[in-house]
Amino acid sequence: MAINRQPIMKRSRSLGIEALYTGSSKKSKKKVEISRKKPSEYGLQLKEKQKAKFCYGVLEKQFRSYFERAKKIRTGIVGENLLILLESRLDNVVYRMGLARTRMEARQLVSHKLITVNGRKINIPSYQVKPGDAIEVNPGKKSSSRFKDILETTHGRRVQPWLEVDTNNLSGKIVGMPTREMIDTPINEMFIVELYSK
C-alpha cells in the first residue's frame, strides 16, 4: 500500500494549510515564507488538489478515481460531489466521530480490523459509508486503554450533523450524507475541477 511519508508539518507549511485539518495537534514554530511572486492559474489549481490529497490522505491515482466517480453522479456539482465522496470514506468517518485523533490513526484502526460497519469487520479505509450504516469499535477492543486515551483527546470535538455518535459505546450512525456547507476543510473544489478539465 502506497503511503506518503513526507513530514506533516513540512507539507502543511508548503501548502499554506494548518496541520489541524488532518487531525494533527502539532504546531509549526517556523514561519511560512510568503512568496512575492504571483502564482499562476495552474499553480493555484494544483495547490488546491494537493491540499485535498493531503487532508484526506489520498494519493494521485485514487484521487483521480474519486474525481471520475464524482463526474458520473447525475445530481449535484462535480466539485462538491468529490468532497462528499472523500468525506464518506470510512477512515474519515471514524476520525469525524472522534474515535481517532487523526485521519492517519483512523486509517490504521480500520486496516487493523478494529472498526465494524453493520456488525461486519471492514479493513478497507476507502470503504464508502451510506445513510443508515452503524459504525462501531470492535466489541472485543472497546475496553482497551488506547480508546480511552483517544476519547480523552477528542472530547469536545464538534460532531458533524450528518453523524450520530455514542461515545460511551464507541459507536455511531450515518444519519445522512454531508452537504458542502458541512465540510469545513478549506479547499476550493472549483480549482480542482478546472485542473482536471484541461
pLDDT tens-digit map of 22-65: 555 555 555 544 556 788 999 999 999 999 999 998 999 999 99
Statement: residue 181 has pLDDT above 80? yes
What pLDDT score does 25 carry?
52
Express as a percent the part of the chain with pLDDT over 90.
74
Residue 19 has pLDDT above 60, yes or no: no
Residue 10 pLDDT exceeds 90:
no
Confidence of residue 1 (pLDDT cuts 50, 70, 90): very low
Would you say residue 66 has pLDDT above 90? Answer: yes
Placement of cell 472522534 in the chain: 98
As a whole number, mean pLDDT of residues 123-135 equals 96
pLDDT at 196 over 50: yes
Rounded Cα distance between 32 and 161, Å, is 34
Query: 485542473: which residue's cell?
Result: 195
Please tell me the predicted confidence (pLDDT) of residue 198: 80
CA distances from 49 to 42, 53, 82, 95 (A): 11, 6, 11, 21
Gap between the Cα atoms of 22 and 7, Å rounded:
12
pLDDT at 118 exceeding the cut of 70: yes
Q: How far is CA 97 from CA 40, 60, 62, in A?
A: 38, 26, 24
Looking at residue 15, its pLDDT comes to 63
Quick check: 12 pLDDT over 80?
no
Structural domains for the chain: 8-27+38-86+182-196 (1.10.1050.10), 94-177 (3.10.290.10)
Give the residue, 157 or 1, on which the prediction is more confident. 157
**34-38, 103-107, 174-178: segment of lowest average pLDDT:** 34-38
